[in-house]
Amino acid sequence: MKVLGIDEAGRGPVIGPLIIAGAMMEENDVSTLGEVKDSKLLIHKKRVEFSTHIKNLTTYKIIHVLPKEIDEAVESKEGMNLNWLEAKHQAEIINELKPDKVIIDCPHPIPKKYEDHVRNLLNNKNIIMVVEHKADFNYPICSAASILAKVVREEEMEKIQKKYGDTGPGYPANPKTQAFIKANYDKYPEIFRKSWSTFKNVAGNKSQTKLF
């Protein structure tokens, strides 16, 4: 039985993409992944080592969700939001890789509601689904997906920093990130999530200052 784990990295930042990753292998072979853990519990060097190991053992797919698409979902008046955007891309991974079973780290407060939404987007409606909070902690195949997503997210942030300057890690509460937004809010539209309140507060205040 082929089991697919799915997780994301970069859901909360105000800068850079959201990365969604799926890793699939025979369920009986999952132990060969070794001591994989939720990516948040590993140092960067270890995540990179594990990422190479995981790619060698699994069939995987990684999706980059850019700030523009995130903003369109968050500000949609047609029923789309960040959860359903994530569900859409998770379903894309499932439909392409065609597992027998999928384990998803659930971003929605109600796992059953999220499961039903994802299942509705699947070509195979009868797939076995495990949709839980902390799945990236409890299931090694989901930990593997978590690691793939986190490594790619960090690579993307490194590219952004080389091109645009010191953005910090991109999280709204980070002082370096806040300083970067204040200095550059009206530049580089491709890297900012303009629907985030952190960005709106800075952009709004700066616009008001210009008016007066």
Is the pLDDT confidence value at 160 over 80? yes
Of 163, 182, 191, 179, nearest to 14 by C-alpha is 191
Instruction: Give the residue-averaged pLDDT of 30-45.
Output: 82
Residue carrying the six token digits 């980070």: 174
**What integer pLDDT is reported at residue 55 of this predicted model?**
97
**What integer pLDDT is reported at residue 206 of this predicted model?**
55
Is the pLDDT confidence value at 183 over 80? yes
Is the pLDDT confidence value at 187 over 90? yes
**Domain ranges (residues) in the chain:** 2-161, 165-211
Instruction: Give the residue-averaged pLDDT of 90-116.
Output: 97
**What integer pLDDT is reported at residue 44 of this predicted model?**
82
Residue pair 104/32 in contact by the 8 Å Cβ criterion: no
Cα–Cα dist 6/22, whole Å: 4
Cα–Cα dist 202/179, whole Å: 10
156 CB burial (10 A radius; 0-12, 13-18, 19+) = buried
146 CB burial (10 A radius; 0-12, 13-18, 19+) = buried
| Mean pLDDT, all residues of the chain | 93
DSSP track, 28-61 = GGGGGG-S---GGGS-HHHHHHHHHHHHHHSEEE
Task: Tell me the percentage of the chain whose pLDDT exceeds 70.
Answer: 95
Residue carrying the six token digits 């509705």: 120
**What integer pLDDT is reported at residue 93 of this predicted model?**
98
Q: Which residue has the higher pLDDT, 205 or 139?
A: 139
Statement: 2-161 belongs to CATH 3.30.420.10: yes
Is the pLDDT confidence value at 180 over 90? yes
Cα–Cα dist 2/146, whole Å: 18
Query: For the structural domain made of 165-211, what CATH number should be given?
Result: 1.10.10
Q: Which residue has the higher pLDDT, 205 or 113?
A: 113
Phi, psi of 131, deg, nearest 5 = -120, 110
Cα–Cα dist 33/143, whole Å: 10
pLDDT band at 211 (very low <50, low <70, confident <90, very high): very low
Residue 4 pairs in a beta bridge with 24, 102
**What integer pLDDT is reported at residue 205 of this predicted model?**
64
**What integer pLDDT is reported at residue 41 of this predicted model?**
75
Instruction: Give the residue-averaged pLDDT of 65-77.
Output: 95
**What integer pLDDT is reported at residue 46 of this predicted model?**
86
Cα–Cα dist 202/212, whole Å: 16
Helix axes 140-164, 44-57, angle to 10 degrees: 120
